[in-house]
Amino acid sequence: MSQDIAAYTAPFAEVAHQRTVFPEGLALDCGATVAPLAVAWRAYGTLNAARSNAILVCHALTGDQYVAETHPLTGKPGWWGNVVGPGLPIDTERYFVVCSNVLGGCMGTTGPREPRAEGEEPWGTDFPQVTIRDMVRAQHRLMEHLGIGRWLAVVGGSMGGMQVLEWAATYPEAVGAAAPIATAVHHSAQNIAFDEVGRAAIHNDPDWRGGRYWEDGSLPARGLSVARMVAHITYLSEQALTRKFGRRLRGASALTFLEDVFEVESYLRHQGSTFVRRFDANAYLTITRAMDFFDLAAEHGGELAAAFRGASAAGTRFCVVSFSSDWLFPTEESRTLVRALNAAAANVSFVEIRSDKGHDAFLLDEPDFHRTLGGFLAGCAERLGV
């Protein structure tokens, strides 16, 4: 593997992302300000005259704004093409769907691999550590720019779900409905530990060069690849891995003991090696840190319910979704969230979807989940006369 991956030493192709630039920049939780602030975003469907049919989709750690169209780097379909589109649960014939690349990301929004300003050097390791709340603040700028006063709904899975919760906590009046999916109000010690393995692998790669790999166009591809491999295991249930691969061998007999002899190894290596062509290592470090530090209760004096009092008063409707075989964000984490929403007298429904696909289920074809989400959004739209 190392040979293959080490060959990807050139930075990935430059893409002209659709962006909006805010020259005044953004003040961050850590005290620093990034200026200018660029937000790369995509939209699908048509904003109605009342501007009341807009849905914000928040992407996960390694997702981006290309939700429902061909990805400009990989050439693959959008990551939620089975959920967002005409006639789909997030119906682009009915809703105006917006998604922006997160602050700290690497697909056009201000982050470590973006120039500080037009024609300047990339931020690199000087990029300040951002929080999930900072990401949401950047999205709020875009919302103002688009002239939208209130989202019909804010929807997202995994880290996208953290942003959904942060929207409800920070801008409750702007959130008509919220669908936090396969997420939690903070990372567990185990989640932090797995992230730390990935970060250690990146830091250990000599091509990381203290984070200044971009200066001569190199990439810590091997470290980033290991980070992706370990993360990928946590996205699948043991059943899903076993069903996909079991202990099947790739042609060779066990006793030849070649590298890459189990199919699951080959698959993981492929996952790792394709990832490095589209994702920046410093962005990976920045975003995983943001997830690890996210702690909605701590932001509200240690009382989780306090985070949702505003949303409760604003009438925000919540639909919390978990998946039974998700061991990265287990159902128990969603129950904790639902208890806090109930304690804040918020309007909340909760569905645990039976699935054996693990955390990744929110990206896959899960008809029960799609019906749940589609029904929730349609109900919210109907209630608001959209």
Task: Indicate the annotated binding residues for substrate.
Answer: 228, 360
Work out whether 196 is an interface residue with its own copies (CB under 8 A).
Answer: yes
Q: Are strands 84-85 and 177-181 parallel, antiparallel or unpaired?
A: unpaired
Chain Cα centroid distance, residue 78: 13
> What CA–CA distance (Å, rounded) separates 277 from 221?
8
Work out whether 319 is an interface residue with its own copies (CB under 8 A).
Answer: no
User: What does DSSP assign to residue 106?
Assistant: S
> What CA–CA distance (Å, rounded) separates 198 from 222?
11
Angle at 130 between CA 124 and CA 136, to 5 degrees: 125
Q: Please report the DSSP string for 56-73 in residue order.
A: EEE--TT--S-SSS--TT
Work out whether 7 is an interface residue with its own copies (CB under 8 A).
Answer: no
Catalytic residue IDs = 158, 326, 359
Q: Can you tell me which of 47, 69, 270, 292 binds its own copies, judged by CB under 8 A?
A: 292
Q: Using the rule CB under 8 A, give the single segment among 211-219, 288-296, 344-352, 370-378 that binds its own copies.
A: 288-296
Q: Which of 372, 313, 359 has the alpha carbon at shortest distance from 179?
A: 372
Q: Using the rule CB under 8 A, give the single segment among 46-54, 211-219, 235-243, 369-377 that binds its own copies.
A: 235-243
Q: Using the rule CB under 8 A, give the single segment among 117-125, 171-179, 186-194, 359-367 that binds its own copies.
A: 186-194
Query: Judged by CB, which is closer to its own copies: 117, or 258?
Result: 258
Work out whether 264 is an interface residue with its own copies (CB under 8 A).
Answer: yes
Task: Give the chain's length.
Answer: 386
In the window 34-93, what residues touch its own copies (CB under 8 A)?
A: none
> What CA–CA distance (Å, rounded) separates 59 from 72?
16
Work out whether 190 is an interface residue with its own copies (CB under 8 A).
Answer: yes
Work out whether 245 is an interface residue with its own copies (CB under 8 A).
Answer: yes
Q: Using the rule CB under 8 A, give the single segment among 77-85, 293-301, 311-319, 344-352 that binds its own copies.
A: 293-301
Cis peptide before 86 (omega within 30 of 0): no
How large is the greatest C-alpha to C-alpha distance in the chain, in angstroms?
68
Work out whether 222 is an interface residue with its own copies (CB under 8 A).
Answer: yes
- Torsion over CA: 77, 79, 82, 87 (sign): negative
In the window 326-365, what residues touch its own copies (CB under 8 A)?
A: 327
Name the site residues for its own copies (rule: CB under 8 A): 1-2, 5, 29-31, 129, 186-190, 192-194, 196-197, 200-201, 203-206, 222-223, 225-226, 229-230, 233, 238, 241-242, 244-247, 254-255, 257, 262, 264-265, 268-269, 272, 289, 292-293, 295, 298, 327
